[in-house]
Structure 1
Amino acid sequence: MKLPAIKGFDEEAFNKYLKNTGWLMLARVGSLVIKILVGFQISNYLGKNLNGILNFPAAFTTFFVAAAALGLDGFTTRELLRNPEERDRILGTAFWLKLMGGIIIIPLIYFTYILWNAQKSIETPISYILIVGLTGITQAFYITDSYFQSKVQAKYVMRVQVIGNILSACLKLTFIFLALEVKWFVFALLLDTIILAVGYIYFYQAKVGSIFKWIFDSKLAKYLLQHSWPLAFSAILVSVYMKIDQLMVENYLGTGALGIYSTVVSLSESWYFIPVAIVTSIFPAIMNAKRDDPERYMKRLQNMYDIMVWISLSVAVFMTFASPIIYHIVYTPEYWDGAAVLSVHVWAGIFVFLGSASGQFLIAEGYTKLSMLRTGMGAIVNIILNIIWIPKYGIMGAALATLIAYFTATFFILLIPKTRQQGIMMLKSLFLITAFQKIFKN
């Protein structure tokens, strides 16, 4: 089936890579619908206080789990594109590095909890934190996803995610039906990652080859770590400026407020799969264009920024008007204060979409340290504004801080001469300049 042409786009490349993106979109849309519907049920079943306790472990461990990944996923995809014949060596080395990272973070999570709890009593038990922390180990098996992305074979990823989310949803609904305690829902967070890991390995074994042929190469490990550590540190900083608001809401306002705010974040960030799916699928095309045709390379980047703005702006406008309706229909009254907060928080998605797209440019150009720097700037802004605004404005202050922090991180590249052109290109997309140029061209 041939997809329809879109004026101003490279039709051949657009058809090829949008088809792959379509598989990812199908998987993520299915997952989105399932997660949202089940999330409504879980939130209402637990109530805002227990819902806060359920969401705290994920927010607390996210920094450590991001560190355990070592920034290897995207970099592994790049290496597989460059050296496909070294598949087993690249995947094997990346897998063992991620596995060791997942093991190392467990004691770090434990001691950090002890120190945090000494300053302020945490309602969430340490056992819940450690259970979710184990996801750092299971994510090591996700490395097979890098192979499928390098081959533009997202349909296998789609199947795993759809099946995994259906199983996860059935399990959680069963817990609600049986009126089980919150700890069972915490176990389910770990089980979700195990299901996905098993699925990825199954399709790799069936379609590619045995994981037992993977080889750990210490020389390659050193090379991967030398080049991926800025991405790893950047991932930690990303988790800081995307999750620190939830920890600070709990710290200043308690688990009840976190329970409400977590519903806001869940609905707002549920759309963030879109830029990830798009840039993951288009990344091979961008890398090929960079190698073969600089003009086409820049054109594809601009087109990617345009797509990101069109989609994210549509989402933001829709959710702004729909948020009161959503909350009054699907949530109990104790959650209704989240509606106004969602109408603000959702606009941060525009900068997440653009940031994901420009991040591919930074990787393609080898500006990994700059990627880390801009993320760090966003994290600093988020922390400072949360300290000032949460005590004053409550969870609305956290949403405003997130909005400003995401804008800062995305457009920080305007301050750097070698990346300023990309910042200007994003601004053209943001203010719909390139969109009107495409519409009125010729």
Structure 2
Amino acid sequence: MRGILDWLFKNQSSGQTIAKNAVWLFSGQMIGRLLRAVVVIYAARVLGAASWGAFSYALGIAAFLTIFSDIGINALITKEASRNPELKERYLSTALFTKLGLLVFFVAGVIIFFPYLTKIEEASAIMPILIFVFAFDTLRDLGSAVSRALEKMQIEAGINIFTNFAIAVLGLAFLIVQPTSYSLSFAYAIGSALGLVAIFWVLKDHFKNLFKNFRKELIGPILATAWPFGLMGIMGAIMLNTDIIMLGWLRSAEEVGYYSAAQKPILLLYVLPTLLATSIFPLMARLAKTNPAAVKTLLNKYVGLVLKFAFPIAIIGLFFAAPIINLLFGSEYAPSVSTFRILMATVLIVYPSTLLGNAIFAFDRQKSFVTFVAVATFGNVLFNFLLIPPFGIEGAAASTVITQLITNYLIWRKARQVTAL
């Protein structure tokens, strides 16, 4: 028993640390997402496609802003703190205050401009509540970055489970009492706030002397170094949220609801490569400086591993799309089936490219993502404008697949140049 506990909670070797972190991240994300899935499925059923679509649209805007307000600061903290532990407190304090400044800027922007971003009145009404979800999630992610830098992903996993448990319990309770998107929004906001309090309490020793460790002269270097890291997150946000946002502009709230129902299981499937990439990134960042050839070996091993999972997952999703959607969301969401089938193709694209993107970061070539994000942004918006009006949610899904193929080809090519794959 003692040996199991030591394996789960102590970093003993590089291989064991990667495996331990992967187990914790996978457990935390899977349990957390399954808890969240309970309230998502229940909400989609009791709210109906229109109200669920309005909530999904507003939450998509909030998620989009969470990525933009980070601009890569979390990834920078993880990288620099793992390489230079003695500078961790200075980077952390300065990053926290930098994030607070960005939060104020983006919250003000949402309050001013959101009424002009949608014709869905219900989404406009609940957005002031979901702004708090965006703010709390942004700050909680900074704590997660610290746990990753320490290579103690058990902290992030525990907080993630706790946060999603709170959201699930509150969401179900609020929806039973009053089945509206307002109730669900309040549940998300309160649950996210509890998660923020929890991670700051657990990591309180690392947040001591915030004002003392703050360095004004680090703000510029942090922003200048971090923004390329943020490009990968922005690219992901564009792929995941632009479709919903543009469907809200060009089509109806019901179609946003159908698309969101098709997208939710796909997002759950993205967890595996993301967690694996997160687990090996601290080691990869160190090896990129000390033993670059070892990074190639590491990538070959784990890219092959994720592809072994990706192919059967995509095939199962393709052939069993209808029963999966019906089981999860009910017959009302039957229009989501064809969209779900199209989006399943992204599993084959995203699984390997997630690892390769992190390799590019490890070798400090993150500025390459300027090109990737530009292509992703232009491509997704262009294809959405071309395909959504005639084809609706199927057009949005096809736009995502086409754009991901183009963008991830560029990532593959750059990763091969950097790592000599």
Partner of 1:196: 195
Deviation at 1:184, TM superposition (A): 1.4
1:157 maps to 156
Distance 2:168 2:141 in 1: 20
Aligned to 2:234: 236
Q: Which residue of 1 aligns with 2:299?
A: 301
Q: State the shift of 1:378 in Å.
A: 1.8
- Deviation per CA, 1:332-355, whole angstroms, max 9, x where unpaired? 322012122112202212222223
Name the amino acid aligned to 1:19.
K
1:275 partner SS: helix
- CA shift, 1:14, in A, is 3.8
Contact 1:413/1:423 (8 A) holds in 2: no
Q: Per-residue deviation at 1:302?
A: 1.8
CA distance in 1, matches of 2:113, 2:334: 33
Is the Cα contact below 8 Å between 1:113 and 1:126 reproduced in 2?
yes
**1:360-394 CA-partner distances (Å, limit 9, x unpaired):** 11211222221132122122211111111112222
Partner of 2:10: none
Query: Structure 2, unaligned stretches of length 5 or more?
Result: 5-12
Q: Deviations over 1:237-289 (max 9, x none)?
A: 43223211111222222000111111111111112222221111101111222
What is the correspondence of 1:267-286 to structure 2 with a 5 Å cutoff?
267-286=265-284
Amino acid across the alignment from 1:116: L
For the residues of structure 2 that align with 1:422 and 1:44, how far apart are their CA atoms? 47
Residues 142 and 200, structure 1, Cα contact 8 Å, conserved in 2: no
Tell me the amino acid that sits aligned with residue 169 of structure 2: C
Which stretch shows the higher mean deviation, 290-299 or 233-242?
Answer: 233-242
Alignment of 1:223-262 (within 5 A): 223-262=221-260
Say if 2:133 is the partner of 1:143: no
Cα distance in structure 2, aligned partners of 1:189 and 1:319: 29
TM superposition shift of 1:13:
4.1
Distance across 2 between alignment mates of 1:234 and 1:285: 19
2:107 aligned partner: 106
Residues 383, 423 of structure 1: alpha-carbon distance in 2 compared, 3 angstrom cutoff: farther
Shift of 1:235: 3.2
Aligned residue number for residue 94 of structure 1: 95
User: Could you tell me whether the CA contact under 8 Å between 1:52 and 1:256 is conserved in 2?
Assistant: yes
For 1:35, the equivalent position in structure 2 comes to 36
Which residue is equivalent to 2:171? Answer: 172
Deviating runs (4+, > 6 A) in structure 1?
none
Query: Which stretch of structure 1 is more off in the superposition, 337-346 or 136-145?
Result: 136-145
Query: Percent identity among equivalent residues?
Result: 19
Aligned match of 2:9: none
Report how far residue 311 of structure 1 moved. 2.5
2:333 to 304, 314, 335: 335
Normalised TM-score (structure 2): 0.90
How far apart, in 2, do the equivalents of 1:231 and 1:284 lie? Answer: 14
Deviations for 1:63-121, whole angstroms, at most 9, x for unmatched residues? 3322211210111111101210122111111111111111111121123224335xxx3
Tell me the equivalent position of 1:319: 317
Partners of 1:385 and 1:125 lie apart in 2 by 25
* 1:376–1:241 distance in 2 versus 1, CA, 3 Å: farther
CA RMSD of aligned residues (A): 2.2
Distance in structure 1 (CA, Å) of the matches to 2:123 and 2:397: 27
Contact 1:272–1:352, Cα closer than 8 Å, also in 2: yes
Give deviations 1:302-349, integer Å, cap 9, x for gaps: 223222322332322222223211222332322012122112202212
TM superposition score normalised by structure 1: 0.86
